[in-house]
């Protein structure tokens, strides 16, 4: 599953550390998410979307979907 976390984080001018703090996860979790090595739980996906003021579908791109 691909995601737009890095792009959105840049738009919102957040570092990985700042985003991690908002989500109550480690910076390593954010790094793994951005690199596609980790798929979040539905609750974490919801929190990420809430931070970026958008829908989960706007952050995460499931394989097989058009971008």
Domain harbouring 42, CATH code: 1.10.260.40
In a domain, 47, yes or no: yes
Number of domains observed in the structure of the chain = 1
Q: Which domain holds residue 6?
A: 2-54
In a domain, 38, yes or no: yes
**In the prediction, which pLDDT does 62 show?**
78
**In the prediction, which pLDDT does 61 show?**
87
This prediction's pTM: 0.88
pLDDT, tens digit, for every residue of 23-40? 999 999 999 999 999 999
Q: Per residue in 25-61, is it b (16+ CB within 10 Å) or e — as a string?
A: beeebbeebbeeeeebeeebbebbbebbeeeeeebbe
Token output for 14: 């957040």
In a domain, 62, yes or no: no
Q: Which residues of the chain have pLDDT under 70?
A: 64-67
**In the prediction, which pLDDT does 31 show?**
97
In a domain, 14, yes or no: yes
**In the prediction, which pLDDT does 56 show?**
96
In a domain, 59, yes or no: no
């Amino acid at each position: 599953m691909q995601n737009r976390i890095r792009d959105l984080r840049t738009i919102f001018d957040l570092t990985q550390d700042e985003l991690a703090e908002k989500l109550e996860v480690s910076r390593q979790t954010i790094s793994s998410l951005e690199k596609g090595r980790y798929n979040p739980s539905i609750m974490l996906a919801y929190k990420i979307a809430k931070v970026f003021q958008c829908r989960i579908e706007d952050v995460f791109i499931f394989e097989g979907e058009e971008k």
